Structure 1
Amino acid sequence: MSINIGIIDQRIRKLAEDLAAEFEARLNIKNDENKQRSLSFVFLVVKTILDLPDEQGLDCLTEGGNDFGVDALHIGDVEDGEFAVTLFQGKYKQNLAGDANFPQTGVEKTIQAIRYLFDPDAVITTNENLTKRLEEIRSLVRDGHIPRVRVVLCNNGLKWTDTAQQLIERAGYPDDQVVWEHVNHDCIVRMLQSTKQVDDTLRLSGKAIIEDLDYCRVLVGKIPVREVEVLFNRHGDLLLERNVRRFLGLQGNRVNQNIEHTLKTEAERGNFYFYNNGITLLCRKFAYNALQGENYQVRVEGLQVINGGQTCKTIQTTLASLAGMDDGMENAFVLVRLYQLPSESADLVRSIIYATNSQNPVDLRDLRSNDPKQKSLETSISDLGFAYHRHRSQASLKPTDISSATAAEAVLSVWRERPHQAKFYGREHFGKLYDLIFTDDLHAAQVIMAVLLFRHAENMRRRPPEGSPDFISYASCFLAMLMGQYLLHDLGIGLDKLNHLNFLEARSKWDQNAERYFKEAVTAIEKAIGKLYGQQNLSLQRLAATFRRGDLLQELKGEVALGA
């Protein structure tokens, strides 16, 4: 047994114990240690690969009968008419030798799953957890959105065999729409070792500019793409710990696909330097031979990639696929900017990360963490007995903890009355929608109450009361919105009057009436659906599309929720 297999097995056993109640409530799995450990392994992979909090990681699990070999599924936001779907299948061996390949039968099942899951007209039978997500995918496909599929096959052993790889290739799925990835114990441990420092040597090509600026040092030069591949082969994602987004893959990412195309086209490789924006690196210290005029070998301590991680990973992936085909690759270079910053310059580091990454809204949750509004909320929410997390955290959140991501979704749903944008425009919460959500007059009491209402609606979605209508699976943001307005109505105030002075009264009112508010909100939505569709028998696909588009908002205007 390797040390990494032991590390993961120890973590899996602890997770299986901690999550036993969740597995029983969500997936009806109990008194089965092997299955609980296998699910814990899938959960750990999902959480680590997608960087999700525990609740969202658990929501992805779909394991059960009629699951087409899909143990977990995550649906990303729609962006430029495309949306990412990540499928997970896990095989956890209780025998910890680590010498078993990912089984060919698992690969075959996943090939079949892709063939049927993304075809809105295919008739298949799946378990309840998978069906809800499946119909959400199919409704997006019917609306003309293109799925980009990332298949993650994970085990505590070796990759699938060459024979299984041939099956994947013969399936004929387009490379720009379906990508396959193997994750095992070694991959997970590398991603979990976030505190390990990366020290290495950068071998530059040609001349470079090196300058001291106010206790900082800057180096600008170029590096062969082969050096980038070697660097990432040695250190992997440890180089990306400060990077606010990990590798998005080639699927559905046109920038990464263009990088790949340039490197694979012999006539274009020499132009790579001109086509790419380059890589930004941070370090604690760098040293070089100043007596040289060019081709420096730069020794670096505490190296991190803060911008250009996508470029680096795409270079690594593409060059690995071109092994033995080096013609012209010696002419392929990429621009590098290396910054040596003092250890006490954390704010400057965050500012550089913000400035170099802010073109992509998905990054902005971390990048906004130093915004004055976020700092003010952290302080004022703390005064009311809750803890507001501006920064992303790996630690499990307690009931009194509020992440900035949850706060954004809750406030947009409950107080800004945009539940459809809260659910399906997550990429924009800290981008285009940021100033709408986090207004200057947003009080701590408003954030906390929105989160409490939203969490209640989410809990009802995950564990719907017996006899609940099907739309519960898609309506949590709408239900939270309605409940928020019922609360204000009973308090006899408008949102602008909800603050620290009446926070305890508001919370007490909510605790007393949560069940009634939820039932009234369900009834209101049932009536609105009736007005919208009459007596039609609605499929899950239709319901998913209804809540995604916000069709019900007009019908709900007769409710107290929208000020009637």
Structure 2
Amino acid sequence: MEYTALNDSPYWVALQQRDDLKEHGNLNSALYALELHGELDDVNLIAPDIITEGGDDENIDILYVDRDGKRIYLIQSFQSPLFRSQGAKPTKAQETAYAETALFSADLASIPARIRTQVAEAREALKDGAIERLNIWFLHNCPETDECERPLKATGMSVISKLKNDYPGNNIIVDSRQIGLNSLDELYNSQHSPILISDVIKTNELPGFFEKNNDEWQSFSTSISGEFLKELYENYGEDRLFSANVRSYMGSNKRDLSINDRIKETAQNDSGNFFVYNNGVTALVHDFSFSVIPGHPSLGVLDSITGISIVNGAQTTGSISHIKGKTKKT
């Protein structure tokens, strides 16, 4: 959406009602976003242990190691007291690269004592294979811009390379991006509506079976290609595509011979049998359009869907989407 003021953002308006977060100053937004994304009951309970902001913070404002959730959050935060239509300063986004160096490369003894414990904890969790996802965020209260996104993507590629080199047995998903008003509003709205995607998506006339239940719900069963799933993932990203799913994509790890790694192997090497090996994908949509086959009211051709959130099949979708190159039809 187009923003003309901070109060155009539902997230920002809701944040102003969180009096319990005001004691954290300009980190209140980062903590609120972490609470929503991490589905935490009360971020205040862990705030003293994860806030690293200060004069010697190595450009890391929040470092949260969640072994139970198998994830790490590294957050660099910027909060403007006034609305900035031009977006956040790109130089602040570029500083995240230094935070990455501090977390992975710097000698631990050279890390400022005040944040050394958190950095050591993160490295230990990575070494133990306890982490499956690393979230690196430049979080701000401005409209999102390409100028801020580019350095985060570069940081993400650098982190992926380091992780593969330092922890070759692990396949850790790296989510390195800016979290501005656009993403914050999506995160906030996801608490109220399980389907964040509202686009009309063409399905290229897929044949299938239609079922209706007392006007409460209706469904359409069909088969789709792995290529279609991968395109959805690449176009909308994990947070939006899996917004109604209690579990997002958890990654794959060859060392553990995980089921997700086998999904990828089947899609790459045995795509002809993928349909019978897989238990399918279930998705919620706002609406769908189909054409009934004459004489067969339960049979039709799916023309398009409006909105989508995958509620069963996140592991299948994620596995297929992390295969390099063009995906075969499955």
1:42 aligns with 2:27: no
1:179 aligns with 2:174: yes
The superposition leaves residues 492-515 of structure 1 with CA deviations (integer Å, 9 ceiling, x where unpaired) of xxxxxxxxxxxxxxxxxxxxxxxx
CA–CA distance in structure 1, aligned partners of residues 287 and 28 of structure 2: 40
Closer, same or farther: CA 148–247 of 1 in aligned 2, 3 Å: closer
CA–CA distance in structure 2, aligned partners of residues 163 and 199 of structure 1: 28
CA–CA distance in structure 1, aligned partners of residues 248 and 133 of structure 2: 17
Q: Considering only CA atoms, is the larger Rg found in Structure 1 or Structure 2?
A: 1
User: How far did 1:282 drift?
Assistant: 3.8
Closer, same or farther: CA 288–47 of 1 in aligned 2, 3 Å: same
User: How far did 1:207 drift?
Assistant: 4.4
Q: Of Structure 1 and Structure 2, which has the larger fraction of its residues in strand?
A: 2
Which residue of structure 2 aligns with residue 53 of structure 1? Answer: 41
CA–CA distance in structure 2, aligned partners of residues 274 and 208 of structure 1: 17
1:116-155 to structure 2, matched below 5 A, reads: 116=106, 122-126=108-112, 128=114, 130-134=115-119, 136-137=121-122, 144-155=128-139
User: How far did 1:188 drift?
Assistant: 1.8
Question: Which SS does the other structure have where 2:65 is aligned?
Answer: strand
CA–CA distance in structure 2, aligned partners of residues 277 and 74 of structure 1: 35
Which residue of structure 2 aligns with residue 332 of structure 1? Answer: 329
Code of the aligned partner of 1:3: Y
Question: Which SS does the other structure have where 1:123 is aligned?
Answer: helix
Closer, same or farther: CA 187–269 of 1 in aligned 2, 3 Å: farther
Which residue of structure 2 aligns with residue 89 of structure 1? Answer: 76
Closer, same or farther: CA 93–332 of 1 in aligned 2, 3 Å: farther
Closer, same or farther: CA 108–73 of 1 in aligned 2, 3 Å: closer
Q: Of Structure 1 and Structure 2, which has the larger fraction of its residues in helix?
A: 1
Which residue of structure 2 aligns with residue 192 of structure 1? Answer: 188
Question: What value does the CA root-mean-square deviation take over the aligned residues?
Answer: 4.4
The superposition leaves residues 440-476 of structure 1 with CA deviations (integer Å, 9 ceiling, x where unpaired) of xxxxxxxxxxxxxxxxxxxxxxxxxxxxxxxxxxxxx
User: How far did 1:150 drift?
Assistant: 0.4
User: How far did 1:68 drift?
Assistant: 2.8
CA–CA distance in structure 2, aligned partners of residues 105 and 179 of structure 1: 18
Question: Is the Cα–Cα contact under 8 Å of residues 93 and 138 in structure 2 kept in the other structure?
Answer: no
Closer, same or farther: CA 236–137 of 1 in aligned 2, 3 Å: closer
User: How far did 1:152 drift?
Assistant: 1.9
The superposition leaves residues 328-382 of structure 1 with CA deviations (integer Å, 9 ceiling, x where unpaired) of x3x424xxxxxxxxxxxxxxxxxxxxxxxxxxxxxxxxxxxxxxxxxxxxxxxxx
User: How far did 1:147 drift?
Assistant: 3.9
Question: Is the Cα–Cα contact under 8 Å of residues 132 and 251 in structure 2 kept in the other structure?
Answer: no
Which residue of structure 1 aligns with residue 168 of structure 2? Answer: none
Q: Percent identity?
A: 17
Q: TM-score under structure 2 normalisation?
A: 0.67
The superposition leaves residues 535-563 of structure 1 with CA deviations (integer Å, 9 ceiling, x where unpaired) of xxxxxxxxxxxxxxxxxxxxxxxxxxxxx
CA–CA distance in structure 1, aligned partners of residues 329 and 130 of structure 2: 32
CA–CA distance in structure 2, aligned partners of residues 161 and 218 of structure 1: 38
Provide the aligned length of Structure 1 versus Structure 2. 300
CA–CA distance in structure 1, aligned partners of residues 288 and 14 of structure 2: 39
CA–CA distance in structure 1, aligned partners of residues 224 and 304 of structure 2: 14
CA–CA distance in structure 2, aligned partners of residues 184 and 154 of structure 1: 8
Code of the aligned partner of 2:16: K
1:107 aligns with 2:107: no
Which residue of structure 2 aligns with residue 62 of structure 1? Answer: 52
Which residue of structure 2 aligns with residue 279 of structure 1? Answer: 281
Which residue of structure 2 aligns with residue 435 of structure 1? Answer: none
The superposition leaves residues 375-427 of structure 1 with CA deviations (integer Å, 9 ceiling, x where unpaired) of xxxxxxxxxxxxxxxxxxxxxxxxxxxxxxxxxxxxxxxxxxxxxxxxxxxxx
User: How far did 1:222 drift?
Assistant: 0.9
Closer, same or farther: CA 192–309 of 1 in aligned 2, 3 Å: farther
1:98 aligns with 2:95: no
User: How far did 1:154 drift?
Assistant: 2.1
Q: TM-score under structure 1 normalisation?
A: 0.43
CA–CA distance in structure 2, aligned partners of residues 261 and 89 of structure 1: 37
Which residue of structure 1 aligns with residue 220 of structure 2? Answer: 219
Which residue of structure 2 aligns with residue 537 of structure 1? Answer: none
CA–CA distance in structure 1, aligned partners of residues 16 and 314 of structure 2: 33
Question: Which SS does the other structure have where 2:59 is aligned?
Answer: coil
CA–CA distance in structure 1, aligned partners of residues 232 and 239 of structure 2: 11
User: How far did 1:192 drift?
Assistant: 1.9
Greater relative contact order (Cα < 8 A, sep 6+): 2
Closer, same or farther: CA 20–138 of 1 in aligned 2, 3 Å: same
Closer, same or farther: CA 276–68 of 1 in aligned 2, 3 Å: farther
1:223-262 to structure 2, matched below 5 A, reads: 223-231=224-232, 233=235, 237=239, 240-248=242-250, 254-256=258-260
CA–CA distance in structure 2, aligned partners of residues 302 and 162 of structure 1: 28
CA–CA distance in structure 2, aligned partners of residues 296 and 283 of structure 1: 16
Which residue of structure 2 aligns with residue 209 of structure 1? Answer: 209
User: How far did 1:113 drift?
Assistant: 1.4
CA–CA distance in structure 1, aligned partners of residues 252 and 73 of structure 2: 13
1:158 aligns with 2:145: yes
CA–CA distance in structure 1, aligned partners of residues 136 and 19 of structure 2: 25
